[in-house]
Structure formats: C-alpha cells, structure tokens
Amino acid sequence: MGRSRSDLLRLLSMGMVLAIHATGFYEHSFVRQHDYLSQDFLAVLLNQLARFSVPVFVTLSGFGLTRKYMESARNGGAIRIPLASFYKHRLYKIGLPFLFYTILYLCLQGQIQKAFAEENVWELIPYFYRKGADYHFYFFHIIFECYAVYPFLLLGLFRLSHRWRWVALFLSFLAQLYVSSPAHIWLSDWPRPPFLFSAFILYWQFPLILGIVTALNPLPAKKAVGRAMLAATIFAFGLVLFDYLFWSYRSGEPGDFNHFTRMSVMIFAALFFWTFAAWPDSEKDRPWIGYAAGLSFHVYIVHTWFLRGLEILLPRNVLLVLGSLILVSFLWAMLLDRMLTWPWLRNLLGLEAKRSALPG
C-alpha cells in the first residue's frame, strides 16, 4: 500500500469519525424506539459502518512508521530507531498540540478557573493522561501509549521470521478478544484484567501490531486477494450491525455496548485495512487526497466545536448536519493552511508543515 492509498484511508477514516459524532444523538433515540423506518436507524447504520475508523487510525500509525524505518533496513540491514529523537519528534508533533488544545478547551469550559478558585488544581491532572478536555481527546491518550511501546514492538517483531510474525499477530488477536466486549460477559468466570480506562494500550495493542506486521509482511497486492478481503469486510460489517442491534435490546444506553474495542469492530477494522492493503495501487496521481489527509489531524481536534454549532443552527437531519460538518471543518482547516506559514504555529495547531501547497 503506497502513500496515496494510505492517505485515502486516513481521509476516509477521518470522515467516518465525523459521522460517528454527528450520529450520536440518533443512537439514543433508536435504542428507545427501535424504529427501523426512520433517520435514527440510518444514523445507526452510518455509525456502525464508521466504527472501523479509530482502530484503523492506530493501524495506519503502526504501518506508516514501520514503512519509514524499513528504509534503514534495505539490503539486509537492521532497523534502527534512535529512541531519544523518536520520542522528541512525537512529543513535538502530537504532544504540543495536545497540551495547547487541552489547556485552551479547559479554559473555554471554565475548568481551569474553577480549579484555581477552589484551590484544587490537582483535579486538572487526569485531563492530561486519562480523561479528555473534549469527549474525543481520548485518542491522544491511545496514540501516546502506542508511541511509547512502538519502538520495542517493532524491534521485537523485526527479529522474528516471516512466519513467526503472523503467529505473534494471531496471539495479539487472541489477547485482544480476551479484553474486548462482550468477553466480560461471555468469559465472566475467567480471570479478568482490572479495567483502567478505555484508552489503555491493553485494549489497542492489536491494531498497532496489525499495522507493524502488515508493513513487515506485505499482503500480495492482487485484485483477487482484495476482492476476498472486501467480501470478508462486508460480512464483518454485518456482524458489527447484528452485535449492536442484539445488545440494543438489552440496554437502553449505547455507551454500555457500543465500543470501538468490541470484538466485532476489531475484526471489521482489521479486514477493512487489509482490503486497502491488498488492493493494487492505482497509477493515477490524486494530490487532493494527500492535501486533505494532511488537514485531517486539525479537523479531528476542532470539529466538535463546529458540530455543536451546527446542531443548534440546522434542522435535525443527520445527512445535512454531517455534510455541513465535513464541509465546514475542512474549509476552516484549508483557510488556516493558507494563512499560516510559521512552522511552529502550524505544528501547535495540528497542521502538517509539508502540506502547505494547494494541488493544482
């Protein structure tokens, strides 16, 4: 899978994250009424289809970084990861935007002022390692933990033979199933690891290892393989939807059962990624895909504020709100991309420096 294909998958995943957040309200309405001839059910379909997005983001991180470091291993060389520079770069690219937006959002919400007024500053600390200043900031914690263990996973998997990497991936998959819902119900009599928080690496190790192994052991890029993966992905989506509907009749709160780390979602996301990895790359150059993908990190960070405004201004129509959210979020990111030239400021706001030129 080349850069253009991975950019397309990244951009598609970003659009699906926006779909998840734009359809959240309708989930609660559907669970209460189970009206299959309503936009509530349409929203549920979109929401469940979009569930691949966050696991695929993690997989793309492992895949992209591994492809980068494999360049140093050409002609039989060993992979080398200078740990100090690796962590320094990640803290600069991801850590600084996280710190900036967390403080900004906590200020806008009045949390910092409240903590100082009550002389209880310590209550702010969980926002920086476990909680989120906004409801989607959990992904920062996931990616920080993935980056923390990534160099060691890559070096360990690189030393394995081709066959043993697949074995390691299979063991990772089994471990993922053991901690993924509804294992806590099906395997309730088995020893269970203590639950810490949903962004903990224990619940996200399989997508990361999937990306690393797929980069080290590339799938054959053939249409027949891609079609087989696509068929399996469609079947897996059916399982995701069935899984959701099954539990929706047993709980009135979607948060009880609609997790990214559900067994069915992890299988669906892995097959979705493999479909893109196995499909032969197109020779057509699509610079707009790469450009828009470069804006996606900033869009991820700020889109929830646009969503809150659109939900007030627009009629309650899921497709209208979602379409407007995608349009407004990316237009805003493009505007900033045109206006800002200072590298440090672009980085602070989550804009990639290398995406500064609009494609012709």
Stated pTM of the model? 0.90
CA atoms within 13 A on the CB side of 360: 0
DSSP 196: -
Task: Round to whole Å and give the CA distance between 157 and 32.
Answer: 46
Task: Round to whole Å and give the CA distance between 88 and 288.
Answer: 30
Domain assignment present for residue 132? The answer is yes
Domain assignment present for residue 327? The answer is yes
| Structural domain of 328 | 3-355
Domain assignment present for residue 266? The answer is yes
Dihedral (Cα; 54, 57, 63, 68), 10-degree rounding: -160
Q: Give the pLDDT score at 283.
A: 62
Domain assignment present for residue 245? The answer is yes
Q: Give the pLDDT score at 162.
A: 93
Q: Give the pLDDT score at 356.
A: 45
Domain assignment present for residue 309? The answer is yes
Check: CB of residue 350 under 8 Å from CB of residue 97. yes
Task: Round to whole Å and give the CA distance between 275 and 273.
Answer: 5
Domains in the chain: how many in total?
1
Task: Round to whole Å and give the CA distance between 141 and 126.
Answer: 11
Q: Give the pLDDT score at 256.
A: 66
Domain assignment present for residue 360? The answer is no
What is the full per-residue pLDDT of the chain (360 aa) written as tens digits? 778 888 999 999 999 999 999 998 898 889 888 999 999 999 999 999 999 999 999 999 999 999 988 877 776 677 888 999 999 999 999 999 999 999 999 998 888 888 788 777 888 888 887 778 888 888 999 999 999 999 999 999 999 999 999 999 999 999 999 888 787 777 777 787 776 666 688 889 999 999 999 999 998 888 899 899 999 999 999 999 999 999 888 877 776 677 888 899 999 999 999 999 998 877 676 778 889 999 999 999 999 999 999 999 999 999 999 999 999 999 999 999 999 989 999 999 999 875 445 555
Domain assignment present for residue 312? The answer is yes
CA-nearest of 100, 196, 212, 50 to 147 is 212
Residue 280 corresponds to which tokens in the numbers above? 């032969």
Domain assignment present for residue 304? The answer is yes
Residue appearing with tokens 């991936």: 169
Task: Round to whole Å and give the CA distance between 270 and 231.
Answer: 13
